[in-house]
Amino acid sequence: MPELPEVETIRRQLADRLPGRRIVAVSVRDPLLVAPLAPPDVAADLEGRTIVRVHRRGKYLLLRLDDGDDLAVHLRMTGRLHHSDAAPEEERFQRAVIGLDDGSHLTFSDQRRFGRLWRVPAGPAHWRGRVGVEPLGGAFTAARLAKLLEGRRAPVKASLLDQRLIAGIGNIYADEALFTARIHPRRTGGSLSPQEVRRLHRAIRASLRAGIAAGGASIDSYRDTLGRRGTMQDALRVHLHAGEPCRRCRAPIQKIRVAQRGTYLCPRCQPR
């Protein structure tokens, strides 16, 4: 599932190719993608606009339009964005095809139809309160993380997944970061020592950076904009490795459920 590293991989690819391109034709095949708006209205609204910049907020990909708004795209579980030089062939899970003035096409496809595409006003106001600090940005310090976790009684993993606190961490990188930091996912945020918070801070950034360097994790359906798989799935140390020996201590990796998510950990390296 696309998390920050996967969305960032897509962003970097599109940032090389989309700025300066004018949208000439929009075909929304699945009304759910743009609900509650109607596909023809969305098409008419976007056609003629020029994409000036490709940026990202957490897991939200943002295409800045020349009228000042952002076209926001969220891939959720199984969404994909594909950029092709020619018009794409019809495919079962195609939800929208955006034709650009150089003849290339941006295709949104999504098996499970959780993904969404919508227009938002540019700037931080829209995201304030909904999307928290960028974990790879300068504002995300160990002190900031400590403040976010201070007094929290929820499992620390639940807080890592809460997009209002930190933007872009999903189930994969939460598991990996907690393993690296040697913290049990069910520990409460408020129970972490300053040293543990520092370890977690470093581990979050290291895990996300590793994911970006690997071009994302293609566990299920994630592909980059050229249809290629990432390689981060091969570098995961606990996520999806239930029953296998821990790489650090050889104890069998456990799978438990935390915050309604399948959660992988080493019970010896990550004691409660």
Residues annotated as part of the active site: 2-3, 59, 261
Q: Give yes or no for a contact between 28 and 39, defined as CB atoms under 8 angstroms apart.
A: yes
- Contacts (Cβ under 8 Å, ≥6 apart) of 44: none
Report if residue 125 touches DNA, rule: CB under 7 A: no
Please tell me what DSSP assigns to residue 252: B
Please tell me what DSSP assigns to residue 84: E
Stretch that binds DNA, among 40-48, 155-163, 192-200, 224-232 (CB under 7 A): 155-163
Dist. CA 261–CA 129, nearest whole Å: 23
Report if residue 259 touches DNA, rule: CB under 7 A: yes
Q: Give yes or no for a contact between 35 and 115, defined as CB atoms under 8 angstroms apart.
A: no
Dist. CA 51–CA 71, nearest whole Å: 9
Report if residue 111 touches DNA, rule: CB under 7 A: yes
Stretch that binds DNA, among 18-26, 37-45, 106-114, 230-238 (CB under 7 A): 106-114
Stretch that binds DNA, among 44-52, 62-70, 148-156, 191-199 (CB under 7 A): 148-156
What does each C-alpha distance from 152 to 107, 231, 248 come to in angstroms?
41, 34, 29
Report if residue 163 touches DNA, rule: CB under 7 A: yes
Dist. CA 112–CA 233, nearest whole Å: 21
Which of residues 15, 25, 37, 77 is near DNA by CB under 7 A?
77
Stretch that binds DNA, among 21-29, 134-142, 158-166, 210-218 (CB under 7 A): 158-166
Report if residue 260 touches DNA, rule: CB under 7 A: yes
Which of residues 171, 180, 218, 233 is near DNA by CB under 7 A?
171
Q: How far is the CB of 50 from DNA (least distance, A)?
A: 26
Report if residue 109 touches DNA, rule: CB under 7 A: no
Report if residue 155 touches DNA, rule: CB under 7 A: yes
Dist. CA 261–CA 269, nearest whole Å: 20
- b/e for 78-96, b at 16 or more Cβ within 10 A? bbbbbbbeeeeeeeebbbb
Residue with Cβ nearer DNA (100 or 207): 207
Say how many residues touch DNA, by CB under 7 A: 32
List 25's β-bridge partners, or say none. 99
Residue with Cβ nearer DNA (3 or 69): 3
Q: What is the largest CA-CA distance in the chain?
A: 58
Q: How far is the CB of 139 from DNA (least distance, A)?
A: 18
Report if residue 202 touches DNA, rule: CB under 7 A: no
Report if residue 120 touches DNA, rule: CB under 7 A: no
Report the SS3 class of residue 29. Answer: coil
Site for DNA in 33-62 (CB under 7 A): 58-60
Dist. CA 81–CA 83, nearest whole Å: 7
Q: What angle do CA 200, 206, 208 make, to 5 degrees?
A: 105
Which of residues 112, 128, 228, 247 is near DNA by CB under 7 A?
112
| Binding residues vs DNA (CB under 7 A) | 1, 3, 32, 58-60, 74, 76-77, 111-114, 130, 151-155, 158-159, 161, 163, 170-171, 188-189, 257, 259-262
